[in-house]
A = this chain, B = another copy of it.
Amino acid sequence: MTERTDKTRATRRRFLAGAAGVAAAGVTAARADNAKSLAKNLPPNVADWSKSLGEGVGVRAYGTPSKFEKDVQRRTVGWLTATPESSVSFTPLHQLDGIITPNGLCFERHHGGIAEVDPNDYRLMLHGMVDKPLVFTLEDLKRLPRVNRVYFLECAANSGMEWRGAQLNGAQYTHGMVHCVQYTGVPLKLLLEQAGVKPNAKWLMVEGGDAAGMNRSLPLAKALDDCLIAYRMNGEMLRPEQGYPVRLVVPGWEGNLWIKWLRRIKVGDQPWYTREETSKYTDLLEDGKARQFTFVMDAKSVITSPSPQMPVHGKGFMVISGLAWSGRGKVSRVDVSLDGGRNWRTAKIDGPVFDKSCVRFYYEHEWTGEQLLLQSRAMDDSGYVQPSKDALRKIRGVNSIYHNNGIQTWAVKSDGEVENVEVG
């Protein structure tokens, strides 16, 4: 018998013992609760909800979460940017599992409000260095061949507040500018083929219809590779804050390029050097120079539970869970450390592993109340390994707010509370 098998069996035994203990505790709790008023809903009594048809939850045209889940929500950080003009909300990663983010909880960042585009008046113009300029209505786009792909979308500024040290206390705030949904859209390549791109074209300018007129330069090669003109997320039409009715999907690249309310694509032979790729979304280095066009979001991961907003309630068997993603391909492995990076164990990746998508990882642990320094590190099929924050700082300094994919540390204290910390 190998050591590995030995360990697996031992873990299994611990789990069965631990979980049975948990269940027994449940019974005890139920008995203790019998003294309280809510005991009427606990076994052996028949609960109130088994005696009525429920209130206000009859057949609904469009369903909403349970009233008991009101705490599961996108949140903002007031002092960061929370104004009607420019804001950002964060995905509650700590309250989710699996890899699909429900549409209502996908983080969103806007720079000039949320455009309310009438789909009947929507037009997408494709012009510049092409044989034949084209204008598409939404109905035109919907008649074209489309594909369905699950991709993560991460804002370049995700974890940006952590460059100078542990700051925000919660996975939602440190890593919540990421979400992962199934998009339906037309390959941008098809539209470019229809228009006929001139031989010396090399770049596109992609522009949004919001009040910010958000625009960026995109290499033609990427557009021809895997970009989508997307109009659906998780089956239904895009949400307003995600660019309804049409957004650009740029798999694996920084979210700022995924232009929402997409109204124009201009073909050219060089970058446009727009505001959003000069004064913003460049990486200011130690020497004062700014690195431009850091498109790819490198491999990254975060433990979502336990985390500061999701403490551990009591000792015993538990599952350490998190998300990993890479803009360079598929996540190939995720390691977890319990001691701040001194020892690493391979976590189990569960569920589908798609290209440039989130994966869900789990690591089982019998917690005896000892202090933990939890970390995770992602690897992808390009051979890239997620670096420590310090390794990143050595190369990049601490002036930037973008592209921080350093390893996150959560300290689990003996009372189960969790804090954002850094280890030396």
Contacts and interface: CB of A to CB of B under 8 A. Distances in A.
A97 B54 CA distance: 32
A143 B362 contact: no
Nearest to A93: B235
A65 B62 contact: yes
Given A20-B194, A104-B63, A118-B41, A209 B123 contact: no
Interface of A: 15-16, 19-20, 22-27, 29-30, 33, 38, 41-43, 47, 49-55, 57-69, 72-76, 82, 84-85, 87, 89, 95-106, 108, 112-121, 123, 125, 132, 134-137, 139-140, 143-150, 181-184, 190, 193-194, 209-211, 213, 232, 234-241, 244-245, 261, 263, 313, 316-319, 350-352, 354, 360, 362, 364
Given A19-B144, A64-B104, A113-B52, A43 B135 contact: yes
Contacts of A51: 211
15 contacts: A20-B132, A24-B134, A30-B135, A49-B118, A50-B209, A57-B116, A60-B89, A60-B241, A66-B240, A97-B184, A97-B235, A98-B234, A100-B235, A143-B319, A148-B360
A74 B52 contact: no
A53 B113 contact: yes
Given A22-B136, A49-B211, A61-B75, 19 more contacts: A19-B190, A19-B194, A38-B120, A47-B117, A50-B263, A57-B114, A58-B87, A61-B73, A61-B74, A62-B65, A65-B103, A69-B236, A96-B236, A97-B184, A97-B232, A139-B313, A143-B319, A148-B351, A182-B351
A89 B60 CA distance: 8
A98 B136 contact: no
A121 B42 contact: yes
Report, nearest first, the 5 A-B pairs whose CB atoms are least far apart: A53-B113, A61-B73, A148-B351, A98-B148, A41-B121
Most central of A85, A113, A316, A354 by chain B CB within 10 Å: A113
Given A26-B140, A43-B123, A63 B241 contact: yes
B115 A49 contact: yes
A90 to B, nearest CB: 10
Given A95-B236, A236-B102, A66 B184 contact: no
